[in-house]
Structure 1
């Protein structure tokens, strides 16, 4: 069962797991998805192994509304993300004539068997050309497939990002001079009273002006304001430093 306005990110790459390449794609997607009003439920970092990718993608596609994969697409032997998606969804891997035409444009000297690997897509895959994408993004059901190169990934996601826009999140913050201990019970009580709002407290050790940040976030702006007022009137006397 999928849930609306939710997502999972799957980073594919032995080079990430071994520390050869720093991971930046998930960091980018976290920021972008949150700004679009999409709740990220999980980030998976997995190796270039067909069975592992297939299992991870299959489970994620059933659990959330949108799945974003990065890495493992290209002409080399370890680019197995698309075959893995086909396996995970129980689909055949077939040549996409539209993608073959795209490849001919980018490889005018001819397509060898390795380049043609990029034209082999899960049956029923869609090519997304939003905002004039010359090299389209690939989507299969609710799975969106991106390259591992950060610049290419960001360019493709930015082109199709409006497909995922949802009700935005509203956030309010309270900055307090007290530690978490004295307000833990109040926070728990507030969370129980306002279940639609994410109530979080974050200690800060290097700021002389406040010690704990209380963050309130939800798509329900009215409830955010309600819990904001509930907390600010019940904090220990003098504990509230400022709010925004």
Structure 2
């Protein structure tokens, strides 16, 4: 399964708010063996949201959109998602009923538009806030507030199913440029994906769905690279 993550908000693009939602979602998907192939941040503009969601829903198994939910003037994500599907925004009675019965809100106290969702959307209830999310086709729309987003994602996480993956790390005490030949060779020898991440040392990750292959490839590497020595305290 592959997914695209879309985060919405002028404040993200201005650097006023750190985009922790993207990192959190990517981590959760990686844990489930799901490939995140795009992370895109968009301004609060209906046209941009509609264009990108429409493009990504045709290209990826699922699109997860966060941010810009609610009834205020700059909460435009639902309108953009509705436009991507050529649908109108309509009051969702299921979402309203949940807000009254479980959220404890009187209908007349809710700001107009709070429960407006794309026509035919499946509502996702917000147990940590007010504004509901929704699912339209393969597009999942979640709040931008991290606590709200994480709680809502927990309710749908089982809808994302990937291939289990296994990973081991070798830390090399050599320049990355000196390791190129051996990194190419281990991928030719074994059916693994290898990544290298330089810093004070080079972290080499070895990944495969098969734990035995990962173990064999890692052993092969350890015989051929100079590893960082552990310092005894």
Q: Which TM-score bucket, shorter chain as reference?
A: 0.7 to 0.9
| Structure 1: distance between partners of 2:196 and 2:90 | 50
After TM superposition, the structure 1 = structure 2 runs for residues 62-211 of structure 1, keeping only pairs within 5 Å, are: 62-105=58-101, 106-108=104-106, 110=108, 115-128=111-124, 137-194=133-190, 197-205=192-200, 211=201
Q: TM-score if structure 2 supplies the norm length?
A: 0.85
Which stretches of structure 1, 4 residues or longer, exceed 6 Å deviation after superposition? 132-135
1:221 alignment counterpart? 211
Q: Give secondary structure in 1 for the equivalent of 2:215.
A: helix
Deviates more, 1:66-75 or 1:117-126: 117-126
Question: 1:7 touches 1:65 (CA, 8 Å); kept in 2?
Answer: yes
Distance in 2 (CA, whole Å) between partners of 1:137 and 1:242 is: 49
**How many angstroms does 1:76 deviate by?**
0.4
TM-score normalised by the chain length of structure 1: 0.81
What is the rounded CA distance, in whole Å, between the counterparts of 1:220 and 1:133 in structure 2? 39
RMSD across aligned positions (CA): 2.6
Q: CA deviation at 1:103?
A: 3.9
Match of 1:231 in 2: 221
Instruction: Structure 1: state its 5+ residue gaps.
Output: 206-210
How many residue pairs end up in the alignment? 227
The correspondence for 2:40, drawn from 31, 44, 65, is 44
Give the conservation status (yes or no) of the 8 Å contact 1:198–1:216: yes
Contact persistence 2:64–2:140 (CA under 8 A): yes
| CA deviation after TM superposition for structure 1 residue 109, in Å | 5.9
Structure 2: how far apart are the matches of 1:160 and 1:42?
20
Q: Give distance in 2, aligned partners of 1:12 and 1:6.
A: 20
Aligned-pair CA distance for 1:199? 0.7
Distance 1:75 1:109, change over 3 A: same
Question: For structure 2, which runs of at least 5 residues remain unmatched after alignment?
Answer: none
Change (3 A) 1:128 1:103: closer
